[in-house]
Structure 1
Amino acid sequence: MIKFFRTIRYNLMETGKTTKYFKYAIGEIILVVIGILIALGINNWNENRKSKLVEKDVLNNIYENLGVDSIQFDYYKNQYKQIDKLHLDLYRYGIKNETIDSISEPVLIRRTLYFKQLITSDFKENLYTINNQKIKKELVSYIGSINDMETIYRIQLVPLINGRLKPYLAEQELYNAENWFELKKRTIQSDTFEEITGKNIVDKDKLLALAKTKKFQQLLFEVNAKWNEFYTRLETVIAENNDLRALIESELKTY
């Protein structure tokens, strides 16, 4: 093809048809420019297609991760409600002198969560591959809310339970060491504490007696306040998780 155009140029120049030659040259330049633009357009289309495929994979992965997060949140809610009920029972019995037929599993007083990190560095890096600005904005907000919740739990609540509450319970001799060592399985993983039902690790009667003291009630107040602060953050995270999943699900339908 190049040889063909070159032959035409030589013939025009040799016959002295300068005007026609220049017209032809301009036309050839235009064709070359059009060819370049078409090639660029095809390349851009191909790159956009690849980018969309990457973005689709990222959104699918985020959507799946949000689903896993949601399951984790259900676990947190379940644990919080059990712990909060125990705190309220101990308050009603200790301060208001109400009769308590039974209390939640006493060991819940020292309970902490099986808490996993929800947001990883890879998760954050995926932000740069998302073009939908609304999704990106919601995702940034979600990451911020997760960090707030984790800060309350890891930096404030856990040190309070491990550093103050648990040692205090030990000082007051509330732990049933015999019941603990008699357990066939001493790793507590069940959400419902089935492994220790009927074998209280924390002495129920001593816990109720301790609930009558001002020092314990002051400590209970601090722990419960932090649990409620954590739960408030958790509710925000759950709402954002639901909204974000709905938004991503709608976006994925456009691919």
Structure 2
Amino acid sequence: MIKFFRKIRQNLLSENKFSKYLIYAIGEIVLVVIGILIALSLNNWNENLKSIKEEKEILNNIYKDLSTDSIQFDYYESQFQKIETLHLQLYKVGIKNEELDSISEPALIRRSLYFKQLIDSDFEKKAHTIENSKIREALILYTKTIADLETVYEIELLPLINKKLKNYLAEKELYNVKNWFELKSRTFDDYSYDEINGKNLVDKDGLIELAKTKKFQQMLFELNVKWNDFHTRLMIVINENYKLRDLIRQELKEY
């Protein structure tokens, strides 16, 4: 093809047909420009396909992480309800002097959570690479609600349980050491609070008596306030998690 055009140019020049040569030269330049534009368009098309594929993969991964987190958050919610029930029972027997047939597993009073979600504040950086503005903004908002939840749990609630409450229970000798070591012989695959019924790790009667003291009542107040603060923020996170997953589901349908 190149030889063909070169031959035409040579013929036009040898015949001194300068005007025709000029028209031809301009035409050749136009063809070259059109070829370059086509090449650029193809390159941009390929890059767009690549970007769409990468974004789809990112959204799929985020969706999976959000789904895993939602299962964990449901577990937190169920644990909070159990802890809240025990707190109310201790309030009734300790402050209102009500008689209850039984109270929940007393070890729940010192319960803490393994708190680690897959979507965290680092995802805010990844959010800026997402084309869909609604998903981008929702992901940024979600990471902030996660950060708020972490702050309440790690800075306010967890230190109260680990540094104050647990030491106080040990000071009052409420831990059933024998039950703990018998429990350790179990396989932890089966472990649940239901299975240690009758083998309380915290002395039930001792905890009821402790609930009648002013010091424990003040500690219970502080503990319950912080658990409820955690729960309020947890419900916000659960709601944002659901909305973000819904946005991603809708976006993935468009690909």
Determine if contact 1:118/1:146 at 8 Å carries over to the other structure: no
Equivalent AA in structure 1 for residue 218 of structure 2: Q
SS of residue matched to 1:136: helix
State the 1:149 CA deviation: 0.6
The alignment status of 1:154 with 2:149, answered yes or no, reads: no
For the aligned residue pairs, the C-alpha RMSD in angstroms reads: 1.8
Match of 2:235 in 1: 235
Residue in structure 1 matched with residue 36 of structure 2 by the alignment? 36
Q: Is the 8 A contact 2:80 2:227 kept in 1?
A: yes
Write the mapping of 1:1-255 to structure 2, written as runs, cut at 5 A. Answer: 1-119=1-119, 123-185=123-185, 192-255=192-255
In 2, the alpha carbon distance for the partners of 1:177 and 1:210 equals 18
Letter in 2 for 1:77: E
- Aligned-residue offset at 1:94: 1.1
Deviations 1:42-86, CA, capped at 9 Å, x for gaps? 000001001101111111111111110110011100100000110
Distance 1:246 1:117, change over 3 A: closer
Identity in percent? 64
**2: CA distance between counterparts of 1:142 and 1:186?**
39
- Which residue type is aligned with residue 131 of structure 1? E
Report the residue type matching 1:113 in the other structure. Answer: L
| TM-score computed with the length of structure 1 as normaliser | 0.94
SS for the counterpart of 1:85 is helix
In the TM superposition, residue 20 of structure 1 has moved relative to its aligned partner by: 1.0
Q: 1:82-127: per-residue Cα shift (whole Å, max 9, x none)?
A: 0011011111221122222211100000010122243357744432
With 98-107 and 81-90 compared, the bigger mean Cα shift is at 98-107
Structure 1 stretch 199-208 or stretch 172-181: which is displaced more?
172-181
Post-superposition Cα deviations, 1:164-184, rounded to whole Å, max 9, x if no partner, equal 000001111111112222225
Specify whether residues 122 and 141 from structure 1 end up closer, same or farther in structure 2 by C-alpha distance, changes over 3 A only: closer
Q: Distance in 2 between matches of 1:150 and 1:12?
A: 79
Instruction: Provide the TM-score with structure 2 as the length reference.
Output: 0.94
Letter in 1 for 2:76: Y
1:24 is matched by which residue type in structure 2? Answer: Y
Shift of 1:147: 1.2
Q: How much does 1:187 deviate? A: 7.7
Change (3 A) 1:86 1:191: farther
The number of equivalent residue pairs is 255
Measured after TM superposition, the shift of residue 128 of structure 1 is 4.1
